[in-house]
Amino acid sequence: GQQVMQIPQYQHVQEGEDFTTYCNSSTTLSNIQWYKQRPGGHPVFLIQLVKSGEVKKQKRLTFQFGEAKKNSSLHITATQTTDVGTYFCAGYNTGNQFYFGTGTSLTVIP
């Protein structure tokens, strides 16, 4: 069945270091969305990518959608303590089914 895996599952970084999470789907996705969930909070929509090879930036965050539309990445430059949380990718497959990834939990050590 459809799987959307994220690696790593957990990541601890020193404040100021960079962070990347990778999202891999077993099938082609029509789009990819990224959400952030703070500890004890709810998922909050960050961005959506639709085109093959698309790259979008939000301040220190860079999002990429792979050429084959089966993978994506989120890169954070110079992490801050406010970046703490779990980052989920999510996407629609060609059958219009929506799947959340397994998530990457980011801890930033001050």
Task: Please choose, out of 14-22, 25-33, 53-61, 66-74, the segment that lies near another protein by the rule CB under 8 A.
Answer: 25-33
CA distance 99 to 50: 15
Please enumerate in sequence order all residues whose Cβ is within 8 A of that of 26, keeping only pairs 6 or more positions apart, or say none: 2, 3, 4, 70
Q: How far is CA 109 from the centre of its chain?
A: 20
Buried b (16+ CB within 10 A) or exposed e, 52-75: eebeeeeeebebbbbeebbbbbbe
Which 37-96 residues touch another protein, going by CB under 8 A?
A: 41-45, 48, 50, 88, 92, 96
- Report the nearest approach of another protein to the CB of residue 16 (Å): 26
| Nearer residue to another protein within complex by CB, 77 or 92 | 92
Pick the piece of the chain touching another protein (CB under 8 A) from 15-23, 26-34, 60-68, 69-77. Answer: 26-34
Give the residue, chosen from 21, 65, 72, 103, that forms a contact with another protein under the rule CB under 8 A. 103
Residues 2-21 that bind another protein (CB under 8 A): none
Whole-number Å distance between alpha carbons of 110 and 88:
23
- Per CB under 8 A, residues contacting another protein are 30-31, 33, 41-45, 48, 50, 88, 92, 96-103, 105
